[in-house]
Structure 1
């Protein structure tokens, strides 16, 4: 049975991603910063008959928490097949480039960018034990510098500076990581789940959580002939599903 660790999975898109991967036959380690909330999420899935799931306490802002989670997971499995870096924050608003407090930039980058790097580096040894490892970095269409430079883009006016910077940096890291692992069986991709109605955006998005999670799952279950080093975004570029960087 393949295994997957999903950060920030106790609610919303992360939780639904866990549900869908359980339905696909994966064993899910459901990552949550709050131990109690993680257990509640696991209990809900188990009540639905999806029993191959366990909570993992992991705060991506805290390197000691990440190291502890790695130790816990290492006692449970010798290999990790999929890592989904889903945990993320938007930061306080508004976020103009000139007026957003530097503390907001630091906070958002710590979670959305540095946290992903630290989690990936901590679990890479377990991923390398999988015959077909997959890393999925959950990003945003707002991380596309190309689209942000196009005045005709439908979200051109939406520019939360620290959030955009964090996701653009995450996209860059995805490219670098895929390059480092290019001569292996790894598939490393960034996935924009789309503008989805969640508490992340006060339920303002038009997309549904199941559809958003399905985009993430698609990258998680890629076969050996699947792409790597790509930025998938059905929301922004529905014709090809590949977003410009």
Structure 2
């Protein structure tokens, strides 16, 4: 049976490459994008189904879930990939509004999407949720980045981004424990050159998408919750 996969933020970067790889592996992919025209162009290039979804808009997320429900009836894999970097200013200069803007996409967006698609995931035989996180969201690494330079060679004290990814990791843990029938994992794709970081990353999107694709195609029995990267487990 063909896997039905929904990927948010799939019109470019890691989302686009993940969609490309999963389609090549035989998945039917709904390529989510918050701009209709860009999403349709990306879906056409990929051979995916376009899905208009703005994860910061409850009505948009609900409409996207209704579309997939009407067309496919289930979702086997949900990839919560949509994210923003937010401000890079020193922590002491940021205010609550700065963090709210980042959390609205990176954290609350994943909550909106997971909740809207939950009933569709529960129709699948082996459903999975893949949350695209970052080693910058690891409390262990942030507490002593020098000791974990092998996992995160380019650490930065980004208050909004790092804390949002730490919160996303907590969503992974709580969803996995609350919904044991669904595999839920966080994935660190590594420091990948994308629009998110002004293409300053040290690896290509092809390299970065590898860990996401591995998580999305994991065999039954894979640990859940888990936080994984290209070379294996990442410390929480």
TM-score (structure 1 length as normaliser): 0.91
Give the one of 92, 104, 112 matched to 1:110: 104
For the residue of structure 1 that corresponds to 2:186, the secondary structure is strand
Tell me if the contact between 1:9 and 1:32 (Cα under 8 Å) persists in the aligned partners: yes
Provide Cα deviations, 1:136-184, integer angstroms capped at 9, x if missing partner. 00001100011111152335851110101100000011000110122x2
Q: Secondary structure at the match of 1:193?
A: coil
Describe the SS at the equivalent of 1:98: helix
Contact 1:70 1:122 in 2 (8 A): yes
Alignment partner of 1:166 is 2:164? yes
Equivalent residues, number: 231
Separation (CA, whole Å) in 2 of partners of 1:221 and 1:156: 28
CA distance in 1, matches of 2:83, 2:122: 25
Q: Which residue of structure 2 aligns with residue 27 of structure 1?
A: 28
Deviation digits for residues 196-220 of structure 1, max 9, x if unmatched? 1112111111111111111101001
- Helix, strand or coil at the partner of 2:185: strand
Unaligned stretches of 5+ residues in structure 1: 46-50
Distance of 2:145 and 2:16 partners within structure 1: 35
State the alpha-carbon separation in 2 of the partners of residues 20 and 40 from structure 1. Answer: 17
Counterpart in 2 of 1:243?
234
Which is worse superposed, 66-75 or 145-154?
Answer: 145-154
Q: How big is the shift at 1:233?
A: 2.1
1:181-196 paired onto structure 2 within 5 Å: 181-182=179-180, 184=181, 186-196=182-192
Change (3 A) 1:151 1:56: closer
Q: Does the 8 A contact of 1:148 with 1:156 survive in 2?
A: no
The answer to whether residue 138 in structure 2 is matched with residue 144 in structure 1 is: yes
What value does the CA root-mean-square deviation take over the aligned residues? 1.2
Query: Paired residue for 2:85?
Result: 90
2:52 matched residue in structure 1: 57
Structure 2 CA distance for aligned equivalents of residues 158 and 143 of structure 1: 11
